[in-house]
């Protein structure tokens, strides 16, 4: 039914907003905690989605479960240990997404457990249905955003984490590829979709990881 389709896109859109905003907020907060006032000055320590959303990246996240936001500008000169600081700031975003994915999957299990109760009226059953599907979308979107951003391809977070371990000319040469990052990512995703029957390797990884998390949550709540 059309209502079910609209509900599905509503789940995904809201989940994408939450995933993106908290991902970028985590970057800004960690940089601020390390002594950098730049994110605060630019208004990036905010839950306002308009401060963080990139239109194309958000649409890609909604439809393909991989995407990006406006990058948080930071100044590593404020960090006591520059490379370590950059790695921690870069890691903060994906780590936030993985935490959200875990919490969402646990909430799925809790809602599913409640659905076993007797004498639930139609209104409660519908609320449980909506919550279960929303938490599922939230978990999947966060896994996709977290895994995608860990790819070591500039300018994604994974490249900054890897870059913190590179030294001298190696790091400089590596970061020169940042200008080609979007083309490289697009090529890799398209090739993986062609090889995977329409599913990218990120989608496959998200599916495998989500199924594993759901099985563990089912065991935790005695749902198997």
Our CA angle for 14, 18, 21, nearest 5°, is 130
Task: Look up 24 and say whether it is catalytic.
Answer: yes
Q: Is 99 left (phi over 0), alpha (psi -120 to 50) or beta?
A: alpha
Selected catalytic residue, list 24, 77, 125, 172 = 24
Contacts of 220 (CB under 8 A, 6+ apart): 106, 109
d(CA 162, CA 177): 14
Tell me if residue 55 falls in helix, strand or coil: helix
Give me 77's structure tokens.
């000169």
CA nearest to 138, candidates 3, 6, 23: 23
So which residues are the catalytic ones? Answer: 24
């Amino acid at each position: 039914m059309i209502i079910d389709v609209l509900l599905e896109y509503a789940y995904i859109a809201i989940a994408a907003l939450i995933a993106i905003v908290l991902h970028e907020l985590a970057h800004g907060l960690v940089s601020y905690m390390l002594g950098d006032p730049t994110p605060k000055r630019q208004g990036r320590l905010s839950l306002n989605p308009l401060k963080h959303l990139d239109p194309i990246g958000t649409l890609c996240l909604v439809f393909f479960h991989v995407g990006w936001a406006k990058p948080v500008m930071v100044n590593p000169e404020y960090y006591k240990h520059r490379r370590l600081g950059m790695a921690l700031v870069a890691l903060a975003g994906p780590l936030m997404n993985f935490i959200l994915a875990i919490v969402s999957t646990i909430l799925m299990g809790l809602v599913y457990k409640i659905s076993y109760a007797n004498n639930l009226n139609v209104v409660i059953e519908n609320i449980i249905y909506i919550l279960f599907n929303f938490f599922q979308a939230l978990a999947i979107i966060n896994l996709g955003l977290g895994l995608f951003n860990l790819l070591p391809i500039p300018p994604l977070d994974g490249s900054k984490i890897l870059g913190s371990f590179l030294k001298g000319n190696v790091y400089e040469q590596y970061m020169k590829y940042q200008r080609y990052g979007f083309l490289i990512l697009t090529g890799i995703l398209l090739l993986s979709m062609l090889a995977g029957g329409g599913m990218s390797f990120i989608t496959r990884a998200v599916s495998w990881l989500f199924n594993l998390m759901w099985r563990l949550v089912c065991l935790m709540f005695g749902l198997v």
